[in-house]
Structure 1
Amino acid sequence: MSALPQKLHGIWEERWHPLREEWIVIAAHRQNRPWNGATVADTPIAVPAYLSDCYLCPGNRRTGGLVNPEYQTTFVFDNDHPCVGPAAPDEELLEPARGPNRVRAARGHARVICFSPQHNLTLAELSHTHITEIIQIWQQQTTDLGNRSDIKHVLCFENKGEIVGVSNPHPHGQIYATNFVFKTIEQELAASIAYSHEHQRTLFTDIIAAEQADGRRILYEDEHIIAFVPYFARYAYEVYIAPKRRLSHIFHMTDVEVISLAHALKAVTIRFDNLWQMSFPYVMSLHQAPTDGGDYNFYHFFIAFHPPLRRPDVAKFLAGPEIGGGNFISDTSPEAKAAELLAVSGIAHYHQAERLHG
């Protein structure tokens, strides 16, 4: 009897993204195709722990004129250049829209979290205790801002790296508390509701179960937290980190779960940096339910990393299929990218070896 042919994956296939309710085209054979387009220069330079002209370093004057305190761990302040604000004009003062167009006020609060007073550190290089404090700030800020009557949703995120548009490398994240719910969360809510009605189970719980059953894409797991490259990943090194217990907001996490989350965040970001021994760029966002008082027991809080690079010097560019056609084309296999991340340490940062032997 002849052996069954080996099943292929990652070549000319579509994978269903259950949270976005759309098909992702996986074309992993394109990863090593000849590339004569734009590349990303990696020119690391020594960065000091303090810069006198950095508006996020302790004791420095910000662009809005206020002076930062001499903070020792973390520091939160209202964004000097917010994209939403409490002083947004009333609806009747806005220029009316015509025909099918609509307009409404974009109200809210925008804040900045300085992760560390040291200008030259990243999340991967902070201690577990320090990362735990950052998570606790996310909890406190979500509670504080989410309890306000004019706020429907709180989005916490970090943009890291020049390639994603960050002009200041000082380790920091942002918080947008808005009178509207961002589109991605609306999509995930709708998908979660539909899945719950159809299967009488929660969607993300089944996503976690499927990842555990497969096992190849799991980067970190303990009793409380799991981190993995999702089966339906769009970006090459996309990673989800989630509590195993279903909860809709980060403030529902227990102290033990917060400590586990800190370990997972550090392990994943260390793997990112160790992959190519560089400060790995990404967009990290906290996906949590609205704070408008609704019942969101079907929604599962998680953190998503969306790194823009698919090779050390090549970014994932959105072009015809994505922008024009509306379907995402992934040039890599989620299994192969997870294997690459698993092959490097999630414990010792490559900078540690440099300091020991440099």
Structure 2
Amino acid sequence: MKTTHIAADSTQGAIHPPTLHVTTPQLKHQHVRFNPLRGDWILVSPHRMKRPWAGQVEEVIEEDIPVHDPKNPLCPRVTRPSGEVNPDYEATFVFTNDFPALLKDVPSPPETDDPLFRAGQALGTCRVMCFHPHANITLPLMSKEQIKAVIDRWIMELDDLGKKYVWVQIFENKGAIMGCSNPHPHCQIWASSFMPNEPQLKDANQKKYFLEHGTPMLMDYVVRELEKKERLVLLNDHWVVVVPYWAVWPYETMVLPRRHVTRMTELSSTEKDSLADIIKRLTTIYDNLFNCSFPYSMGWHGAPTGPRLESDERHWVFHGCYYPPLLRSATVKKFMVGYEMLAQAQRDLTAEQAAQRLKSLPEVHYKLTGSK
């Protein structure tokens, strides 16, 4: 596979710093890194890890969550706010969100010629997917077979919703500090008639790279990361986990295939087994990092669906993104405020330092070893 140097952003009129032609270990002082998927830059400031912290400290609560809570609307046999009663499910369970952000049939906003007040139609649906009937379990504590059942259901939902909608976003918010209001193991699936902002950026930049180099950007990236070995966290026969060179969140990771796959629906049975292994191992070392149920937002990105299902999407590579906020401990998280909101993303811990920290952790969950 041809591997070509990724050039800096070529946006006309933009002013960008020169590319540094040095090896990553030499980048010990502040510098900027380019994210070719989004076409933007991130400021890296390694020296800031030495500063004392006197800011907000999150409270770590190891909740004593029951296996079944009759008041929890995600548990089996419980009546939800909509009046619907959950079945006595034994594996995964999917239902339409009782409070969805997207509805299937709503009027379109009025048309306007004013460029400052534009609106467009937004149709869709939002589903909730429970991973397991027990409220007190999380993905790292599930078996690989149970995680494989989750992957199978993700694919089933993607196949179903992808026949109608151009984008199907599968995502999981884990932990109260990530806005998760229910500890039951679950994710959400939002399908929309429009392409959201993040997928639009990735679509455009991957297509641009493919047209210039003749190869998918992220497949070239996998090859380069396997060669460099500086940001590798986990790997098996079919998947690679790295802290991306352009990572924003402290312990952000990306799950990448070793075979060119454009959508999750293209995975073989063996690749799904292998992905279950990677998910279990990754979420386990996350929990072992600070001996807590590690919070994050994660999701899967692949080629668009709906009307584009039969179009040429060879520039796309299916991948997963994990965005955890914790930085220094189970009680100190990274805030995206100030400079990040008004200028550009900034991180202290380098991607290489984060990868080394993660890959050094045991892959047996601390709750199973009593090491806490």
- Give the TM-score category using the shorter length: over 0.9
Is residue 134 from structure 1 mapped to residue 133 from structure 2 by the alignment? no
Matched with 2:214 is 200
Query: One-letter code of the match for 1:155?
Result: Q
Q: Deviations over 1:298-317 (max 9, x none)?
A: 10010100001112221111
Is residue 178 from structure 1 mapped to residue 195 from structure 2 by the alignment? no
Is residue 47 from structure 1 mapped to residue 34 from structure 2 by the alignment? no
Residues in 2 aligned to 1:181 and 1:275: alpha-carbon distance in whole angstroms: 35
Three-state SS of the structure 1 residue aligned to 2:26 is coil
Residues in 1 aligned to 2:152 and 2:261: alpha-carbon distance in whole angstroms: 16
Matched with 2:132 is 116
Is residue 339 from structure 1 mapped to residue 356 from structure 2 by the alignment? yes
Q: What is the Cα deviation at residue 20 of structure 1?
A: 1.0
Residues in 1 aligned to 2:208 and 2:112: alpha-carbon distance in whole angstroms: 35
The answer to whether the 8 A contact 2:39-2:205 is kept is yes
Three-state SS of the structure 2 residue aligned to 1:31 is helix
Q: What is the Cα deviation at residue 95 of structure 1?
A: 8.1
Residues in 2 aligned to 1:11 and 1:133: alpha-carbon distance in whole angstroms: 45
Q: Deviations over 1:123-148 (max 9, x none)?
A: 11111001111111111111111012
Deviates more, 1:331-340 or 1:156-165: 331-340
The answer to whether the 8 A contact 2:234-2:359 is kept is no
The answer to whether the 8 A contact 1:10-1:26 is kept is no
Residues in 1 aligned to 2:105 and 2:303: alpha-carbon distance in whole angstroms: 25
Q: Is there any run of 5+ residues in structure 2 with no aligned partner, and where?
A: 1-22
- Decide which of 36, 45, 64 is 2:82's aligned counterpart: 64
**TM-score after normalising by structure 2:** 0.89
Matched with 2:46 is 28
Matched with 2:91 is 73
Q: What is the Cα deviation at residue 96 of structure 1?
A: 5.6
Q: Is there any run of 5+ residues in structure 1 with no aligned partner, and where?
A: none
Matched with 1:100 is 116
Q: What is the Cα deviation at residue 10 of structure 1?
A: 4.3
Residues in 1 aligned to 2:337 and 2:154: alpha-carbon distance in whole angstroms: 34
The answer to whether the 8 A contact 1:211-1:231 is kept is no
Kindly tell me: are residues 6 and 17 of structure 1, through their superposed partners in 2, closer, same or farther at Cα, counting changes over 3 Å? closer
Residues in 1 aligned to 2:24 and 2:90: alpha-carbon distance in whole angstroms: 56
Is residue 260 from structure 1 mapped to residue 274 from structure 2 by the alignment? yes
The answer to whether the 8 A contact 1:128-1:266 is kept is yes
Matched with 2:18 is none
Residues in 1 aligned to 2:103 and 2:300: alpha-carbon distance in whole angstroms: 21
CA RMSD of aligned residues (A): 1.8
Q: What is the Cα deviation at residue 273 of structure 1?
A: 0.2
Q: What is the Cα deviation at residue 75 of structure 1?
A: 0.4
Matched with 1:12 is 30
Give runs of aligned pairs for residues 287-302 of structure 1, distance below 5 A.
287-291=301-305, 292-293=307-308, 294-302=311-319
Three-state SS of the structure 2 residue aligned to 1:136 is helix
Q: What is the Cα deviation at residue 11 of structure 1?
A: 2.3
The answer to whether the 8 A contact 1:74-1:113 is kept is yes
Of all paired residues, the percent bearing the same amino acid is 34
